[in-house]
Amino acid sequence: MSSLAQHVAGLACPPLSGASRRRPAAPQRPSALVCGTYALTKEERERERMRQLFDEASERCRTAPMEGVAFSPEDLDSAVESTDIDTDIGSLIKGTVFMTTSNGAYVDIQSKSTAFLPLDEACLLDINHIEEAGIHAGLVEEFMIIDENPGDETLILSLQAIQQDLAWERCRQLQAEDVVVTGKVIGGNKGGVVALVEGLKGFVPFSQVSSKSTAEELLEKELPLKFVEVDEEQGRLVLSNRKAMADSQAQLGIGSVVLGTVESLKPYGAFIDIGGINGLLHVSQISHDRVADISTVLQPGDALKVMILSHDRERGRVSLSTKKLEPTPGDMIRNPKLVFEKADEMAQIFRQRIAQAEAMARADMLRFQPESGLTLSSEGILGPLSSDTTSEGSGEGQTADE
């Protein structure tokens, strides 16, 4: 039996197929095996601690949400109401824009209610983007509450309503002062044109337009205007171009030089816009030299200085001249820039010549004073010779004879 065991022990068994291919050793876990489990690393221990804290906080929120809070929801509502913010329709409230959108802007009004400024309530003008009205995040402004959305109790704010009130007040003030304002024509119909004044749309009837222009011709142009009717309650703002033009025309003096713009050319002359008044620069008054074709000298849109020759206020006609402003004959044809530069100087010379001619005429008339019965006052005005003046003259003569 022992010999058999020795015989078996001495046998060399051949290796099994594939036994020589040993598998690579598995990577060892960095932690040590303690009591049948692996010990956690420092990072794993921290993650485990955070998970436990999160689970505990989540459980407290579910079972006792107000634990550790110094006040209740009722206390919060009471605190909000104690701020005493007036959110009635029509009241004014101060707020800060904190976000803008394509439709408007959200405003913080220090209230539990949400506040929104719609795009069409941002200003008096028609705009496409809220930024065009100067609205941006961080802007602090006073708004008017104009409505409330019943669905979510969002307050609807407006800047346009405040601006309208101010604009109407400004128009009433300007009407009381009877001043001339400038309005831009933005539309029209068969009865007149619509002009924008102080941000408000006013109506100018064609009967109150000084020119014979159509609504299409006046579109986008600026007109001098005066207020005829300012009625905020009825929303009526009526304006007059004729009244404004009458004031402007009253300031035109013969011999004065004004800046004008060529409006149109005709075979007989050019129509010049001088501050909203159309004056005629006749072809004979363009230059001392003959002008065969006006278009070779002037073009629509050209700016030039002209002298007022005459002004018919009843018929609304003004005659102009550049001929009188030429330093030398023909300068308007050869060197119009020089005429522009020397216009005021030449006008002064022209006025001096007129004054001298009038003085000489008065002197000639005085030579015939006894026959004409006229005398020259201290202001240089001719008038009838009074009896007092005659007696004084006779007394002086007697004294001289004595």
- The answer to whether the 92-163 and 178-246 domains have the same CATH topology is yes
pLDDT, position 398: 42
Q: What are phi and psi of 46, to 5 degrees?
A: -65, -40
Rounded CA-CA distance 71/88 in Å is 28
pLDDT digits (tens, 9 = 90+) for 101-139: 999 999 998 877 789 999 999 998 888 999 999 999 999
What are the residue boundaries of the structural domains of the chain, listed by start? 92-163, 178-246, 252-350
Report the pLDDT value the prediction gives residue 376, as an integer from 0 to 100.
Answer: 55
Is the CB of residue 195 less than 8 Å from the CB of residue 202? yes
* CATH class label, 252-350: mainly beta
CATH code assigned to 178-246: 2.40.50.140
Closest CA to 109 of 89, 95, 92: 95
Length of the chain: 402
What pLDDT shows up at residue 383? Answer: 59
Q: Could you write out the DSSP letters of every residue in 188-247?
A: E-SSEEEEEETTEEEEEEGGG-SS---HHHHTT-EEEEEEEEEETTTTEEEEEHHHHHHH
pLDDT at 382: 54
Report, as ranges of residue numbers, the positions in the chain whose pLDDT lies below 70.
Answer: 1-38, 66, 68-73, 75-86, 248-252, 275-276, 313-316, 365-402
**What pLDDT, on a 0 to 100 scale, did the predictor assign at position 192?**
93
3-state secondary structure 43-93: HHHHHHHHHHHHHHHHHHHHHCCCCCCCCCHHHHHHHHHHCCCCCCCCCEE
pLDDT tens sequence across 160-169: 999 999 999 9
Of the candidates 253, 307, 301, 247, the residue with the CA atom closest to the CA atom of residue 280: 307
The residue type at 155:
L
- The model's pTM is 0.49
Q: Helix (H, G, I), strand (E, B), or coil: what is residue 323? A: helix
Class of domain 92-163: mainly beta
Neighbours of 372 (CB within 10 A): 13
